[in-house]
Structure 1
Amino acid sequence: MKGEAWLFTGVALFFAVTCAVYAAFAPDPAGFAALAVSGLMSALIAAYLWRGYGRVGRRPEDRRDARVREAGGTRTFFPARSYFPVLTAAGAALLALGVVQGLWLFLIGVGVLIPGVYGFAFQNAGRED
């Protein structure tokens, strides 16, 4: 993960420098906002990767002397089929339509979105590794 972390750290620094130069020479606020958000998003990914590197340590992919069999076995967990993404998407769509159409549809959207997000967060809470 160290290589990926350095890559996204470099991307975040590039966007930060580009955003600073753009802010100094261009009066357009939309370009500044786009560069700032791009820098923040890449910094978020870089922070996640650095945290993962600190937690997991060096993987076999990070070492030159690693063997193929070291990378074998269970690497990660993939959850089973779930309907919570559909429920969350429907709730978000109803919520967005409710902003345009009226409070009643917005409240229905909130009522559909909350169980979807709750299910996303806790569908694997009792799982043993």
Structure 2
Amino acid sequence: MRAEAWLFTGVALFFAATGGVYAAYAHDPAGVAALMVSLLMAGLVAAFLWRQAGKGGPRPEDDAEAEVAAAAGRRFSFPARSYAPVTAAAGAGLMGLGTVIGLWLVLIGFGLLVPGVYGFVFAGADYASED
């Protein structure tokens, strides 16, 4: 995970430098806010990846000499058929439309989004295999 962590650290540093230069020369608070939010999001992903790299150790796919069977014990699969993606997408779409049309549509969209996200989070737990 170190390669991914370095990648997102570089992205976060890019947004930090770009945001600093933009804040110095432009007088647009919306652009500065967008660059700072981008910095925070890239930094969050980088911090997660650095933590996982330190906690998990080297992965089999990082070793050029590794065999395919080296990753045999690390299996996790999601169900072939799941309504969670469709439910979450419909809920997010209705919430987006609801910001334009009205609060009632946002509430319906939120009511669809919550079970969709729940399905994403907990659907794979029943299908994990520990061989």
What TM-score results when the alignment is normalised by the length of structure 1? Answer: 0.78
Please say if 1:95 is aligned against 2:95.
Answer: yes
* TM-fit CA distance, 1:100: 3.0
Which runs of no fewer than 5 residues in structure 1 stay unpaired?
none
Q: Which runs of 5+ in 2 are unaligned?
A: none
- Structure 1 residues 92 and 61: alpha-carbon distance in aligned structure 2, compared to 1, 3 A threshold: closer
The answer for the alignment partner of 1:73 in structure 2 is 71
Supply the AA of the counterpart residue of 2:5.
A
Q: Does 1:116 align with 2:116?
A: yes
The count of aligned residue pairs is 127
Note closer, same or farther for the CA distance 1:3–1:92 as it changes in structure 2 (3 Å cut): closer
Alpha-carbon distance in 2 for matches of 1:42, 1:61: 24
After superposition, give the CA deviation of every residue in 1:26-77 in whole Å (9 maximum; x if it has no partner): 11223312321221221122112111102211234545xx513177433452
Q: What letter matches 1:68 in structure 2?
A: A
Q: Which amino acid aligns with 1:120?
A: F
The match for 1:84 is 84
Aligned-residue sequence identity (percent) comes to 60
Instruction: Report the TM-score, using the length of structure 2 for normalisation.
Output: 0.77
Give the whole-Å Cα distance in 1 for the aligned partners of 2:34 and 2:75: 34
Q: Partner amino acid for 1:52?
A: Q
> RMSD of aligned C-alpha atoms?
2.4
Whole-angstrom distance in 2 between the partners of 1:67 and 1:60: 9
